[in-house]
Amino acid sequence: MPRKKTLLDKLTEAVAWFMGSWWGVFFHTAWFAIWLVFNFNLEILTLWVSLEAIFIGIFLLMVSNKAEIERDKREAHAQKRQMEVIKHDVVLDKRADRRQLKMIKMLKGLDKEVKWIKKRLDKK
């Protein structure tokens, strides 16, 4: 049963989605343009951009880690299903082998009977 997303999970996904979209590009372009047009302190802008890059990297890594965990869970589930299919196939193969052996015994018995009948007919 999948666990319910927490508020932080939703926030992380929203930030990662926004930063990885055209809306994020438009926002940053407008933000930096406004900053440069009004000639605000570039040292503060540099600090802001550096801190933002650190946090965006963290958000993206968190989303990536979560996606990897989900993929691993799906893969484990698929492997479990595959093992169940293999076990079922083995049971069917054993059953078919038993039936085949039974048929071989029956054919050998029929072969003996046919040979016995043939010998009796040849004697007449």
Q: Give the pTM.
A: 0.58
- Where does the pLDDT of residue 110 fall: very low under 50, low under 70, confident under 90, or very high at 90 and above? very high
* Dist. CA 77–CA 95, nearest whole Å: 27
The pLDDT of 70-81, averaged and rounded, is 95
The pLDDT of 67-77, averaged and rounded, is 94
Opening angle at CA 100, ends 111 and 89, nearest 5? 170
**Residue 16 CB-half CA count within 13 A:** 17
- Provide the percentage of residues in the chain whose pLDDT is more than 90: 66
* Dist. CA 54–CA 28, nearest whole Å: 15
Q: Answer yes or no: are the C-beta atoms of 86 and 36 closer than 8 Å.
A: no
- Range with the largest mean pLDDT of 42-51, 90-99, 113-122: 90-99
